[in-house]
Amino acid sequence: MDPYLKKTRLLLHKPLFMVLLCISCNNIYGQQLPSLPNSWPVFTPYILNPAIAGSKDFFSMDLSTGWADNYNSFLAAGAARIARRMKKFRDLPVLSDYTNFGAGSYIFNERTGPYNNTGAAGIFSWHLKLSADALSFISFGLSAKALYTVYYGEPDLGRLPSYELYPDMDLGVYFYSPSFYAGLSGLNLLRDYTVSDTTGYSLPNVDRHLSFQAGYRQIINRNFNLVIEPSILVSENYSFSGNIKDMLSPMLKVYTGLFCAGIYYKNLSTTNFFFIYKYPKFDIGVFFRMPGKTPYFRNPPVAELKIGINLSSIIYNSRSYNHW
C-alpha cells in the first residue's frame, strides 16, 4: 500500500463527530468584500483566510461569475505554494521541491443596484511543517488589498454620486492535515468605513470581521474514493449582537473520485448547492443560491459558474491525495 495512504488511514480513523467551540466577539450584519459572487467561500476560501494560500501543492487559477436581475459580479483568483528547482543529475528530469512560502492574489468587480465595487489583493503566506512526514502544517498569512467604490447616485432622491478608494489588510492563521483543518482570520483590519452623503444615506458598510473555520474529512469507501467533509464557518463583526444564527454557516462536501457535490447554508438561512468536476488540467463548478422564505419573484434563485485552471505540472488524479 502507498505509504501516504497508510498514514492517512491512521489519521482518518477518528470519530466523525466533532464539537466546535466558537470564540465570539462580533456579528455578521456588516458586509464582507467581495460580497459577490456568493460562491467564493466555497471555491476560493483563501479570500476569507490568507493563510490558506499555498496549502495545496499545485498552482491553480479560478474564474467565477454570477448574475441575476439586481446584480452581476466577476472574480479572478489564484494561489500556489512557491516552488524551487532542484539540482539536475545527468539525464534525469529536473524535479521541483516546495519552499515554505505561498502566494496568491485576486481581483473582483461587483455591481449591485446603484453601487459598483472593484477590489484587488495580494496574498503572502508562510507554512511551517509540524510533522516529519510533511502531512501537518501550520501557516500564517497576510493580505494587502484595496477597494474602489462607486455610488452612481439617485437624483430622484437627491443623492449625488460618490467615489472612494480604501486600502485595507487581512491576517490569518491556519492548521491543516489530511484529515482536519482549522483557521482563524481577521478581515478589514485597518478601519471600519461607512461613507454618507448630505442626506445621511450610507454606502454599504464594510467592517472588521473575525472568522473561524474548521472541517474534517472522513473516508467512507476506498473502492469508490468516497469521502465526506463536514465543516463550519463562524463569522462576526465588532458589534456583537449575540444572534447565533447570523454567525454560523455549515457546509457539507461529498467527494467521489474527481467529482464533488455539496450543500452550504449561509447564516443558517440561505441554502446553496454546488458541484465541481476536475479534468486533468482544469475543473468546472456550478453554484446555486436558493432564496429562503422570500418568494421567488422577489428574490429569485441565483446561478454562478466557476472555471479553474491547473497551471502546475501536477495532473489532477482521483488517487492523488492533493487533487482536492
Condensed to tens digits (0 to 9), the pLDDT of residues 240-284 reads: 666 788 889 999 999 998 999 999 998 888 899 999 999 888 999
Condensed to tens digits (0 to 9), the pLDDT of residues 98-122 reads: 789 999 999 999 888 788 899 999 9
Residue 67, in any domain of the structure: yes
Cell of 131: 510533522
Q: Decide if pLDDT at 96 tops 70.
A: no
Residue 251, in any domain of the structure: yes
Residue 322, in any domain of the structure: no
Which residue range(s) make up the domain with 110? 3-310
CATH number of residue 87's parent domain: 2.40.160.40
Q: What total number of domains does the chain contain? A: 1
pTM across the whole model: 0.80
Dist CA 278 CA 287 (whole Å): 15
CA–CA distances in Å: residue 294 to residues 67, 269, 297: 18, 11, 8
Residue 321, in any domain of the structure: no
Residue 271, in any domain of the structure: yes
Is residue 98 within 8 Å of residue 82, measured between CB atoms? yes
Dist CA 246 CA 151 (whole Å): 27
Residue 199, in any domain of the structure: yes
Q: In this predicted model, which residue has the larger pLDDT, 132 or 108? A: 108
**234 Cβ contact list (under 8 Å, min separation 6):** 20, 22, 24, 211, 212, 213, 247, 248, 249
Condensed to tens digits (0 to 9), the pLDDT of residues 155-206 reads: 787 788 888 888 999 999 999 998 999 999 999 898 755 554 444 444 455 6
**206 Cβ contact list (under 8 Å, min separation 6):** 30, 31, 32, 33, 147, 166, 188, 192, 193, 194
Q: Decide if pLDDT at 2 tops 60.
A: no
Residue 317, in any domain of the structure: no
